[in-house]
Structure 1
């Protein structure tokens, strides 16, 4: 036979406190002495008490769960960001449903619809593009956009242009004057900002050897491969670490020594960057800070606070490793 579920009433009786005090203790709310709270939680653990989330949702209209939608979980940047989102949400007593759209903007509406059907209280959304593809299904749901720029939403971002300048200035300071730029997809503002700023800085202090575009992938397009093989640049700035790792791989295949013959700077500081050979110099995205602000802003919206769809921008840092040497 199934064991009878321990109720809040059972907990209150066993702990010798009122029903309200038991509720305050397990929900971390209300005015309750620390000794009493500790005592109730200890008894709850001994009894095996677990909150009935379905009952709480019926009572409060909230499930205590949020959604996190990303473009592509195969990109190592996103699992790191998801972990930071989950950790921050957990600190506030929330669970997180994490899902991706496989880089397909057409899937975003359906993915969000399914999260809404599961009763999430709000969503942190990393869109595929800078477009509101979910307007039909999520008009009344609290949503925070991270990384992208979508009109009508509060957006949490990094200073991508500053990152591009930092990367270019570092290569110029190392004596490189012929520098290539390999951008990620330029249909999003964050990529245009980082690569545009890098190109401008390069042209002020040297010459732009080439500017080509690639998917967020270690697999390089024919145009990118031709640019690297042509050898016009002594250094290259890549719009993402995945692309930079792909360039390293191709350089080895072509017999181009990194960083002796080709210096490389990436962008994102994904976990792989530190373990490349050579370790990748890159621009560090403030993932933990962006995740914390995204979750906190979402919870404020869930609580009914109106912050007029702010645009919050965090600074970035240059992480110097081993993939850049002074120009010869």
Structure 2
């Protein structure tokens, strides 16, 4: 079955059938629906390889994350893949393992196979991202680089909410366990938590950089205890869970002896005991929004692609935070 058979059966020109599949926004809704219905009835499937050769477009998108084992990323990946499929695109996923050199290598490799790239929590420097973004359409998630579209999660508001929550419980000395060097999220948290602590009149110590993993939280435990803080805000849920594990190994109990807040609201945090108080990040919404921004840039190449979307965060209070114990007597 060929495209000409579909055109004849649908009583349209061959070019209309082609546009119905490759650029549906250019075809009237009634015509597009008729063409797609006839194609389905006849069992016609467009030849993607031939289409790519003709249009120069693969209808493939790259999605690069810093650590696919981190439970923050799978909901974003799943949402992005499903949303892209609805819009007629496929997604290639790659993992950098928190390595900036690997990140650049993957971008250059994918550039030969995709129309554009979504870069999530990148570890490359802004100058390098800007240089690579000039060669291939980019959308960033949780990184802001001038001249590039971005989807940002309002982690600054989340960090401020975490400080306010702990201060409201009566904690007067807090510690922020930051993330990896060069992390936009970690920098946003540090600035916002510092301002919120000053506004609340509480002390805030900052530790880092730290690996954004459970082992990173375990390794940070001695430094956290040395601060003698009674409340901790961790870079993400994995760091928070590792910290709780490290504290438990030292017979320091959460939240009786110290309160801990994570960031992300992952399944791991909800299953942890105690259940983790955390900043909920809109990961699925970020995946869908990033796909929309990238496809918009691909399908309207003459327009500047510098849109920036900020998605709201919220604090989810569970069992890992409580009022500090008062000294006896």
Q: TM-score, normalised by structure 1?
A: 0.86
In structure 2, the CA distance between the partners of 1:157 and 1:305, relative to structure 1 (3 Å rule), is farther
Cα deviation digits, residues 290-312 of structure 1 (max 9, x gap): 22221111111112152452333
Segments of 5+ residues of structure 1 without an aligned counterpart are 1-5
How far apart, CA to CA, are the structure 2 residues paired with 1:271 and 1:299?
A: 30
Cα deviation digits, residues 125-157 of structure 1 (max 9, x gap): 122144243566653321111111233322221
Q: 1:279: which partner in 2? A: 275
How far apart, CA to CA, are the structure 2 residues paired with 1:172 and 1:314?
A: 25
Give the secondary structure class of the aligned counterpart of 1:117. coil
Cα deviation digits, residues 72-125 of structure 1 (max 9, x gap): 21222122221122122112111011112221111222211211222x111111
Bigger shift: 309-318 or 234-243? 309-318
In structure 2, the CA distance between the partners of 1:206 and 1:93, relative to structure 1 (3 Å rule), is same
How far apart, CA to CA, are the structure 2 residues paired with 1:240 and 1:72?
A: 13
For the Cα contact (< 8 Å) 2:66–2:123, is it kept in 1? yes
After superposing on structure 2, the runs of 4+ consecutive aligned residues of structure 1 that deviate more than 6 Å are none
Bigger shift: 96-105 or 208-217? 208-217
For these two proteins, the number of residue pairs brought into alignment is 318
For the Cα contact (< 8 Å) 1:53–1:63, is it kept in 2? yes
Q: Supply the RMSD in Å over aligned alpha carbons.
A: 2.6
Which structure dedicates a bigger proportion of its chain to helix?
A: 2
Q: TM-score, normalised by structure 2?
A: 0.86
How far apart, CA to CA, are the structure 2 residues paired with 1:72 and 1:61?
A: 31
Give the secondary structure class of the aligned counterpart of 2:194. helix
Residue 268 (1) aligns with residue 264 (2): yes
For the Cα contact (< 8 Å) 1:129–1:148, is it kept in 2? no
Segments of 5+ residues of structure 2 without an aligned counterpart are none
Output aligned runs, 1:144-223, within 5 Å: 144-208=139-203, 210-213=205-208, 214-220=210-216
Give the secondary structure class of the aligned counterpart of 1:145. strand
In structure 2, the CA distance between the partners of 1:280 and 1:222, relative to structure 1 (3 Å rule), is closer
